[in-house]
């Protein structure tokens, strides 16, 4: 069976960037969660999720995001999201996530928002 999700991680000077590729659902959320967890475990609390290659996110994936945001903010960081496809953006809208996360059109905007 082919893997439904891979997560590329890049770490800049002050921001960690995660690029989930595929689907985040009940079967793949562990892959996403452990990628996010490994960034946080290294003390990186300025996190950008670049969603350009994210085809779909189910409630399990949304739960992983919401579940880490408190810890990230308690450590003085934040989680920003960028490059959402229309379909994933619609899911975020439906569950009210734009009220919880700052969402940007481009990765550059998301990264520079940490410096503002």
Q: What is the pLDDT along the chain (116 residues), one digit of tens a residue?
A: 456 999 999 998 899 999 999 999 999 999 999 999 999 999 999 999 999 999 999 999 999 999 999 999 999 999 999 999 999 999 999 999 999 999 999 999 999 999 97
C-alpha dist (Å) from residue 18 to 1, 86, 94, 97: 24, 19, 23, 18
CATH number for the domain harbouring residue 54: 3.30.750.24
Instruction: Identify each DSSP E strand in 1-88 by its residue range.
Output: 5-11, 16-24, 46-50, 54-57, 78-82
Query: Shortest CA distance to 61 belongs to which of 114, 86, 97?
Result: 97
pTM of the model: 0.94
> Total structural domains in the chain?
1
Separation of alpha carbons 68 and 72, rounded Å: 6
Domain that holds residue 65: 5-112
């Amino acid at each position: 069976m082919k893997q439904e999700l891979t997560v590329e991680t890049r770490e800049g000077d002050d921001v960690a960037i995660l690029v989930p590729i595929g689907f985040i659902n009940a079967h793949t959320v562990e892959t996403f969660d452990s990628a996010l967890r490994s960034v946080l475990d290294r003390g990186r609390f300025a996190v950008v999720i670049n969603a350009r290659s994210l085809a779909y996110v189910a409630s399990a994936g949304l739960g992983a995001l919401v579940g880490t945001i408190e810890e990230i903010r308690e450590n003085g960081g934040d989680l920003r999201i960028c490059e959402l496809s229309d379909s994933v953006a619609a899911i975020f809208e439906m569950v009210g996530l734009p009220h919880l996360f700052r969402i940007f059109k481009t990765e550059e905007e998301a990264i520079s928002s940490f410096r503002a």
